[in-house]
Amino acid sequence: MRLFTSQRAPNPRRVRWVMAEKGLTDVEMVEVDLLAGQHRTPEYRTKVGVPHVPALELDDGTTISESIAICRYLEALHPEPNLFGRDAREQAVIEMWTRRCEMYLANPMMLNVRFSHPALAALEAPQPHVAEWSRVGAEKFMKTLDRRLADHQWIAEDRFTIADVVAVVGLDFARLIRYRPPAELENLARWLEAARARPAAQAGF
């Protein structure tokens, strides 16, 4: 298998993190230079279908894009440690929190960086109002997470799951603009420190 990835983008880090949690080392890494537009070439679009990273090319030529889809595929091949749920209840709860973390935290923080970081102007024109609106929305959800984490060690279950990966990667991407969550969200800070301390967390950097 080959993973088309980029150190500049947040979503490929989700896949690298999951691979590290599962101890997967037999996937070839192909770095895609986003600023050079390698993801927009006809060859890449033909292979992947969209100008996005990450993308996982299987040995039979099938290519899977979208980070969560790739992570689900890897989980199906390597069920432990379990990140997506062991039974119907766990799967539903983890899916619920993963979608919340993606829609209300990770995506807004990515937009905040995307439309405010000077270096990313090569990809899209800065949109300060979009960046600010996205940040405000993300911080509303951070308060929700802070309440959740008051009596939970991890977001979805009593163990680390894909929901935690999605949330941490979204917040960590914002460090490009030196963003830090509001200091009063102490439960969020405790959880973030614990997640960043996991050995597999370094797979994304």
What digits encode the pLDDT tens for the residues 164-192? 999 999 999 998 888 999 999 999 999 99
Q: ∠ at Cα 118 (191, 15), nearest 5°?
A: 40
Say if residue 49 is in the same domain as residue 99.
Answer: no
Q: How does pLDDT run across 48-94, given as a tens digit for each residue?
A: 999 999 999 999 999 999 999 999 999 999 999 999 999 999 999 99
| Domain membership flag for residue 155 | yes
Say if residue 95 is in the same domain as residue 187.
Answer: yes
Given this model, what pLDDT does residue 129 score?
Answer: 85
Instruction: Give how far Cα 28 sits from Cα of 2, 16, 57, 129, 169, Å.
Output: 5, 11, 10, 39, 22
Number of domains, the chain: 2
| Domain membership flag for residue 83 | no
The residues facing 63 across adjacent strands are: 57
Residue numbers of the domain that contains 92: 88-204
Q: Report the predicted TM-score, pTM, of the whole model to 2 decimal places.
A: 0.93
| Domain membership flag for residue 8 | yes
Say if residue 62 is in the same domain as residue 153.
Answer: no
Q: State the pLDDT confidence band at 122, using cuts at 50, 70 and 90.
A: low
Q: State the pLDDT confidence band at 128, using cuts at 50, 70 and 90.
A: confident
CATH number at 46 reads: 3.40.30.10
Say if residue 94 is in the same domain as residue 72.
Answer: no
